Structure 1
Amino acid sequence: MINRAASQIGRRLRQVRRVWLAEGPEGISRRARTVLAEQIRPKTALSPVLPADVIAADLTRPFQPPMPSAKQGEPIAVNWVMLPPSPGSGGHTTIFRIINYLQSHGYRNRVYFYDPYLGDHQYYESVLRTYYGFAGPVGNVGETMADGNAVVATSWPTAYPVFNARCAGKRFYFVQDFEPYFHPVSTASILAENTYRMGFHAITAGRWLSEKLRAEFGMDADPFDFGCDTSRYERRSGFERGGIAYYARPGAARRGFELGVMALEIFARRQPDIDIHIYGDKIGTLPFKTVEHGVVNPDRLNEIYNKCFAGLSLSLTNVSLVPHEMLAAGCIPVVNDAEHNRIVLDNPFVRYAQPTPEALAAELDALVSEPAFDSLSRAAAASVNSATWDDAGARVDEVFRRVTRT
């Protein structure tokens, strides 16, 4: 036993020496914190959906709710069931762009929080009021939902309480991504996939999702096209371009953070005089020089884009809003080449590259070396001027009116 202990101690000391020489004290600290986190982490994590809601959702015997038709000239009442929002949430931003459009066109919108984590709903309601500008009624799914013309799930955990609810209203599913991909193959991925079998009518962010849900799950699905807030994101004079931007989200695996960092490391070696602006999250030390911005508001982000030739925006599932915002500012987005990105973006000024560090870096390198960049930038900005969120809202309005009148 003593010999085994001595062998293990020697082994660990040699490992510590290798890490110190290769990565310094930061490498030691990172590994120690990782081991400690694994030791104190509960063996069973909190679930994003209450098990009781999953058990209650018998997909073989779905409840058939009364579906009062929306009468011509009467307001359509919509119950939106959502996870509690945080300021700046991209998913909630899109939802409330649509809700606020509908509200301005005579709808009665109600919001119901679904929160297995038991947060402070008074705080979350204040976020809705002050950050997203929502003035309608706010409640909790644990209370009885009012009857409506439509009841809308907005993420896979919320689909379960919507399926189980006994209030009147046609069931809809506002789908912004293919959420089973958010999880490794697991109970969570299966539970997420099962929500597409609940018989809801899907309203999807872009055509890729509607085509996928129709083909693989037989869902009724209508897409809306992404808009771009060109009042906030625009190409401005007075800025000298000398950098590239990177939307970094290490906590969201679908944004390919590690792949992006490897691509930027190659790019930084080739273009050491080009600033690399990183925003989205605070990252810390990387193996190349960066200008780190963390979380920024839209006005500051537009300034960053106007200082950059190009931006790296990786989407391993449905595309984010970032490429359209970059384009509006005349900053050319470099995106991983994938069917879901090409279908949704559908813009000739987006640069696609195979999802390898070398290919992504080469596309960034080509853009900062482009001799006719100014004219390219102007044309790219002009290409998104017609894409508005009012168009997206009008499309959702049309779907609600058509489906709730049948």
Structure 2
Amino acid sequence: MEKSTCFQTRTAVKDLYRIKPHPLQGSATNTFVWLIPEVKTGRAGRLTIFRLAQYLAYRGIRNQFLVFSRDADADEQTKKSIICQDYRFIPNARVRHVGPDDDLDELFSALQGDILFATHFGSQLTGLMAQHFNRRILLLQDREGLFDSYGWQGLISDSGALDDFYEYLYAGPWLESHNTEIKHQTFPLGSDYLYPYLLRNLVTSMNVSDDEEAVQIAVYSGPSTPRRATELIWITLTFLAEKHSPCRVIIHNYGDALPDRSLPFETRNHGPLPYDRMLELLCDCDFAISFNATNYSLLPLEALACGTQAIEVDTEANRRRLEDAGVAFISPLPSIAVHQLSEMIQAYLDNGRRHPALSETVMQERDWTECFEPVANFLSVPAFHQNQAARPTLSVCLPTYNAGPQFELLLESLKQQKLQTFELCVIDSSSTDDTVARVRAAFPDVKFRQIGPQEFSHGGTRNQLVDMATGERVLFLTQDALLADNLLLRTMVDTTLEENIAQAFCRHAAYPHHSEFIKRDLVDTFNNLRRDMAWPMGELDLSHNPRLLCFSSNNCCIYRRDLLQRIPFQPVNYGEDQLWTREVMKAGFLKAYIHSTAVIHSHDYEPEETYQRAETDAAYWKLVQNYKAPKSWIDLQGMNKRDTAFAKERGLSDHVLAKRLAVNEAMVAGRKAGLQATKVPYQQGQKTEA
């Protein structure tokens, strides 16, 4: 039998005759199957799919993804890793790659579940071959027939020929308005709440803007995607710079490259940004412009959550879904749009550089986790409480000492956690500020113990916290790590459900007031972990790379409590987490790294403290872990060359670069001293901060 290739979006018309709808004959298995096109990092349409799948998984649904791709050599484990590490962690997800040589008739004859989800036009056609399901549903996020020249896809899609075989799930009211006769459900688009909330408060409290006079405008560029209408934005900004700007304006471009022509305004090009860096940029700017000519864009909502005025092109679709959200609109005609934009900037300046404030309650209601309740009702999935009984219980354990005012944000990020109950256990090393009062006010039921400062050690104090805890899982935090995801606790617990995983830690994102070098270094560090750590990491070969194999981070790390009781932390003041990881991996257990959730945690040390910490770190890895440091550890010339080029690329000041070069010198000197040391500088019993 000829093998069908009709799964491709641009299906050959000659293949259409092979697709014949099958009657549905499903069973109640709580399994949803998703037909999705190629999975790559950084596509907003995919993000909504995987957010919904994660939400449904928390309601007891088992998700299976069929990823259709022309890549015959695609690795199914790689596809699953992209979904769970770069988008959202979906517990118990199954992923299958479908290539051009796969027999779809054979595939669909064996495929079964409760609901089959198509996610774009090509998969909608292919989904007609499925029969062992109760329902077929198309998750419609845009009018795909408008993406390119209107052709056969648009004709078939708009004809209603497929409506008898599908129910529809619409992202936003504009799509619903085009077809209300068929069975459907609409859900509102949502954004993150917690991460922007933390960034807004950090930016306000630390005043991180690098230019108080200029108005900063973030511009999303997507010239390769016509519906983004990027050229209209740049023409409007050119008019603004030439004739109508009421003040100095700095443009921050992110996404695709800048237009290939000179632009008459100051521009900083950020290129493609990771999600957290994009939110940070939006928080730093006064306005955020992103045009979308059809239905779908999350960017205006993300900008509003960051406290930044979002500006969209004035279309019927954008008005229908964004007018009540506080988004401002400008004409698609640059000659009109430039006056509208100029007036917005002037009004902003006249109002003391303040936008109309949205209430925290409104922004919380727009969190994406709140937007899928109508979908859950439409799909008749179980309630959350029906899926909690068999889950491991959780204790969050936190050592504290003079945590300072920023500690309030950590406590708030804990209070904002969803779908995961927990007990809080705190050991305080006799704080002299209001740390204890803040904890008791935020969590009246906290399990609390106070010790003298001289009694603290990183390993020993954490063992005491384990003794206080009753949860089957123990998650350690440090007082300077802010939970940047309101599903972080739930995600961390889910990672330990897989057999034999002893611990899991997550990504770190930098504080917004820390230097661009620190931000780059953190991104590089955790991107390297994302690349190099298999899921999960298990085979222990210390001769290969002990820093990778033993790496862990008690800034935010979850453990099985039964293992902590069997193998307690060593009572040391440095590296207790790395030592524990080595021991449990020797015993045959696994560890996991989760890239798709994060804490805000970074350090921007002065040269003196950099030297001390580099010396300790180098001595620890040499003497305790038998690590042979690479030459790059002490290559000062190479480090300075890289950082000088980075400073030039990002337009960083001479002062910022000079500090970095001084830090590099201190780091190399400290590492050299540590590699010559005969003992680790931090000794048991030495007082250190919690």
Normalised-by-shorter TM-score class: 0.7 to 0.9
Q: SS of the counterpart of 1:311?
A: strand
Q: After TM superposition, give the deviation of residue 265 of structure 1 in Å.
A: 1.0
Query: Larger Rg: 1 or 2?
Result: 2
Shift of the 385–379 alpha-carbon distance from structure 1 to 2, 3 Å rule, reads same
Aligned pairs for 1:106-125 within 5 A: 106-116=60-70, 118=72, 120-122=74-76, 123-125=78-80
2:234 maps to: 261
From 353, 360, 364, the equivalent of 1:385 is 364
Counterparts of 1:283 and 1:167 in 2: how far apart (Å)?
49
| Amino acid in structure 1 at the alignment position of 2:96 | G
Shift of the 381–315 alpha-carbon distance from structure 1 to 2, 3 Å rule, reads farther
Shift of the 230–140 alpha-carbon distance from structure 1 to 2, 3 Å rule, reads same
- Asked if 2 retains the 8 angstrom alpha-carbon contact of 1:79 and 1:112, the reply is yes
2:147 maps to: 182
Aligned pairs for 1:326-341 within 5 A: 326-341=303-318
Q: SS of the counterpart of 1:110?
A: strand
Q: After TM superposition, give the deviation of residue 158 of structure 1 in Å.
A: 0.8
2:113 maps to: 148
Q: SS of the counterpart of 1:64?
A: coil
Q: SS of the counterpart of 1:278?
A: strand
| Amino acid in structure 2 at the alignment position of 1:105 | R
- Asked if 1 retains the 8 angstrom alpha-carbon contact of 2:113 and 2:132, the reply is yes
Q: After TM superposition, give the deviation of residue 387 of structure 1 in Å.
A: 0.6
Aligned pairs for 1:201-280 within 5 A: 201-214=167-180, 218-234=181-197, 235=200, 236-237=203-204, 238-240=207-209, 242-269=215-242, 270-271=244-245, 273-280=248-255
From 35, 49, 73, the equivalent of 1:81 is 35
- Asked if 2 retains the 8 angstrom alpha-carbon contact of 1:310 and 1:367, the reply is no
1:100 maps to: 54
Shift of the 95–374 alpha-carbon distance from structure 1 to 2, 3 Å rule, reads same
1:137 maps to: 94
Counterparts of 2:73 and 2:179 in 1: how far apart (Å)?
32
| Amino acid in structure 2 at the alignment position of 1:66 | Q
Shift of the 50–167 alpha-carbon distance from structure 1 to 2, 3 Å rule, reads farther
Aligned pairs for 1:318-333 within 5 A: 318-333=295-310
2:262 maps to: 287
Structure 1 window deviating more from structure 2 (87-96 vs 356-365): it is 356-365
Shift of the 212–373 alpha-carbon distance from structure 1 to 2, 3 Å rule, reads farther
- Asked if 1 retains the 8 angstrom alpha-carbon contact of 2:145 and 2:151, the reply is no
| Amino acid in structure 2 at the alignment position of 1:92 | R
Counterparts of 1:285 and 1:381 in 2: how far apart (Å)?
41
Counterparts of 1:186 and 1:231 in 2: how far apart (Å)?
42
Shift of the 344–119 alpha-carbon distance from structure 1 to 2, 3 Å rule, reads farther
Counterparts of 2:186 and 2:290 in 1: how far apart (Å)?
22
2:277 maps to: 300
Shift of the 245–294 alpha-carbon distance from structure 1 to 2, 3 Å rule, reads same
- Asked if 2 retains the 8 angstrom alpha-carbon contact of 1:233 and 1:298, the reply is no
Counterparts of 2:36 and 2:161 in 1: how far apart (Å)?
17
Q: After TM superposition, give the deviation of residue 328 of structure 1 in Å.
A: 1.1
Q: After TM superposition, give the deviation of residue 153 of structure 1 in Å.
A: 0.2
Task: Summarize deviations over 1:314-350 as a string: whole Å, max 9, x none.
Answer: 1110031011111111211121112211111132521
Structure 1 window deviating more from structure 2 (118-127 vs 247-256): it is 118-127
- TM-score by structure 1 length? 0.78
Shift of the 349–47 alpha-carbon distance from structure 1 to 2, 3 Å rule, reads closer
Q: SS of the counterpart of 1:80?
A: strand
- Asked if 2 retains the 8 angstrom alpha-carbon contact of 1:328 and 1:382, the reply is no
1:376 maps to: 355
1:342 maps to: 319
Structure 1 window deviating more from structure 2 (252-261 vs 360-369): it is 360-369
1:126 is aligned to 2:81: yes
Counterparts of 1:207 and 1:118 in 2: how far apart (Å)?
38
Structure 1 window deviating more from structure 2 (113-122 vs 144-153): it is 113-122
| Amino acid in structure 2 at the alignment position of 1:99 | A
Shift of the 264–382 alpha-carbon distance from structure 1 to 2, 3 Å rule, reads farther
| Amino acid in structure 1 at the alignment position of 2:94 | P
Q: After TM superposition, give the deviation of residue 306 of structure 1 in Å.
A: 2.2
Q: After TM superposition, give the deviation of residue 261 of structure 1 in Å.
A: 1.5
Counterparts of 1:401 and 1:386 in 2: how far apart (Å)?
22
| Amino acid in structure 2 at the alignment position of 1:261 | W
Counterparts of 2:134 and 2:352 in 1: how far apart (Å)?
52
| Amino acid in structure 2 at the alignment position of 1:295 | P
Counterparts of 1:169 and 1:249 in 2: how far apart (Å)?
39
Counterparts of 1:166 and 1:326 in 2: how far apart (Å)?
42
Structure 1 window deviating more from structure 2 (337-346 vs 316-325): it is 337-346
1:91 maps to: 45
Q: After TM superposition, give the deviation of residue 79 of structure 1 in Å.
A: 0.6
| Amino acid in structure 1 at the alignment position of 2:196 | Y
User: Which ranges of structure 1 fall in alignment gaps of 5 or more residues?
Assistant: 1-45
Q: After TM superposition, give the deviation of residue 376 of structure 1 in Å.
A: 2.0
Counterparts of 2:280 and 2:238 in 1: how far apart (Å)?
24
Shift of the 114–190 alpha-carbon distance from structure 1 to 2, 3 Å rule, reads farther
1:66 maps to: 25
- Asked if 2 retains the 8 angstrom alpha-carbon contact of 1:53 and 1:161, the reply is no
Counterparts of 2:191 and 2:356 in 1: how far apart (Å)?
17
Q: After TM superposition, give the deviation of residue 190 of structure 1 in Å.
A: 2.9
Q: SS of the counterpart of 2:139?
A: strand
Q: SS of the counterpart of 2:357?
A: helix
What CA RMSD, in Å, does the superposition of the two structures yield over aligned residues? 2.5
Counterparts of 1:267 and 1:339 in 2: how far apart (Å)?
25
- Asked if 1 retains the 8 angstrom alpha-carbon contact of 2:113 and 2:133, the reply is yes
- TM-score by structure 2 length? 0.47
Corresponding pairs, count: 346
Shift of the 53–170 alpha-carbon distance from structure 1 to 2, 3 Å rule, reads farther
Counterparts of 2:261 and 2:361 in 1: how far apart (Å)?
35
User: Which ranges of structure 2 fall in alignment gaps of 5 or more residues?
Assistant: 1-7, 99-103, 382-690
Q: After TM superposition, give the deviation of residue 191 of structure 1 in Å.
A: 4.6
1:7 maps to: none
Bigger RCO of structures 1 and 2 (CA < 8 A, at least 6 apart)? 1
Q: SS of the counterpart of 1:326?
A: helix
Task: Summarize deviations over 1:11-52 as a string: whole Å, max 9, x none.
Answer: xxxxxxxxxxxxxxxxxxxxxxxxxxxxxxxxxxx9633556
- Of all paired residues, the percent bearing the same amino acid is 23
Structure 1 window deviating more from structure 2 (234-243 vs 386-395): it is 234-243
| Amino acid in structure 2 at the alignment position of 1:65 | L
